[in-house]
Amino acid sequence: MKKVSLLAPGPTPVPPRTLLAMAQPLIHHRSSDFLDIFGQVREGLKKLFKTENDVLVFCSSGTGAMESAVANLLSPGDKAIAIRGGKFGERWTELLEAYGCQAVNLDVEWGYAVKPADVAALLKQDPSIKAVYVQALETSTGVSHPIKELAQVTKDTGAVLVVDAVSALGAYDIPTDEWGLDVVLSGSQKALMLPPGLAFASIGPKALEMMKTSKCPKYYFSWAKELKNQGINKGTFTSPVTLFMGLLDIFELIEEMGLDNIYRETEIKSKAFKAAMAALGLSLYSKENASVGLTAVEAPEGIDGQDVVGWLKNKYAIFIAGGQAQAKGKIFRVAHMGYISEFDTLQGISAIEMALAGLGYKFDMGAGVAAAQKIFGEA
């Protein structure tokens, strides 16, 4: 059996020490011991999100947190801007329509970031718009949207800014309170180095006020219920105890390493990988604001990006991601976030070179690895 290597943008590898933390004997989710763990998790999340807001925890994927941010803020018929610069931006439209809300779609060419001025123009044109939904990092394209600038746009309007940071939180700095972000969402299986299963929602004062008038149906993802119960360190429903234990260990790991050091290491891995792709003659799919969290690479002409993904999986048990929707077959995507080391990155680059050579692409073998090694050596 081959050793599996995860270089896809989620799930990402879990540190062995964290796996051991989650292997502790199970405790009851209503016990006093777990209430103490829940309290520690709540405080740890505030530090991670850099906020004084309550950060709610749900047992779900990140999409659950996204759904909660529609169900708890809006009423049927309300208008909201969905910034659609990729597959996950399109998910906002799907969620808005599922709850009977009106999606004001702001379509952004894939590979590019939204222009804050375009959002400002829509809000000025229609002051009844209640919310702006955006990705911090559009995982399908590798583009980071300018959420700090968007917060300045929404600040003095009646609209709240909702940021999907599922792929971004922990990969680079997102100071929630400093930037005035109304709602920030994330998940456990990416830069936070845990298995899938936890979703998070930081809820600011403006969003709390809007929540009070929301008439969309809600049950499992009710912010009001969770604010009440998590305020006394317990979930409304059964909490995933083992994931909470793992999250406490991740907080310890982050404390030991330092968030700024983690951001720097992620940036270096990203820079090295991008230099490697350039040395192979490959272009980034992200034409502006290319994220440090992951890299989307255009497959060479005549080669299907899915074949590169398949080659790595079948021959080397290395998992990267392909393109989605209109980018399917055109790109492949590699993560730099979380528990991925320099040598994991070099191994991935080497495997990509082997795959491209096997698929008939002509280049100087080893050029990508050498370019990345130079970046790592100078860091």
Q: What are the tens digits of pLDDT across the range 183-240?
A: 999 999 999 999 999 999 999 999 999 999 999 999 999 999 999 999 999 999 999 9
Q: What are the tens digits of pLDDT across the range 333-353?
A: 999 999 999 999 999 999 999
- Domain 16-255 belongs in CATH node 3.40.640.10: yes
Mean pLDDT of 119-141: 98
* Residue 182: per-residue pLDDT: 98
- Domain 258-378 belongs in CATH node 3.90.1150.10: yes
**Residue-range domain boundaries for the chain:** 16-255, 258-378
Answer yes or no: is pLDDT of 12 > 70.
yes
264 annotated ligand-binding residue = no
pTM greater than the 0.95 cutoff: yes
Mean pLDDT of 168-190: 98
* Residue 3: per-residue pLDDT: 80
Mean pLDDT of 7-20: 97
Q: What are the tens digits of pLDDT across the range 35-67?
A: 999 999 999 999 999 999 999 999 999 999 999
Long-range pairs, 342-345, Cβ under 8 A, ≥24 = 342/268, 342/269, 342/272, 342/376, 344/5, 344/7, 344/13, 345/7, 345/269, 345/272, 345/273, 345/372
* Residues 253/255/256/260 CA torsion (nearest 10 deg): 110
Answer yes or no: is pLDDT of 1 > 90.
no
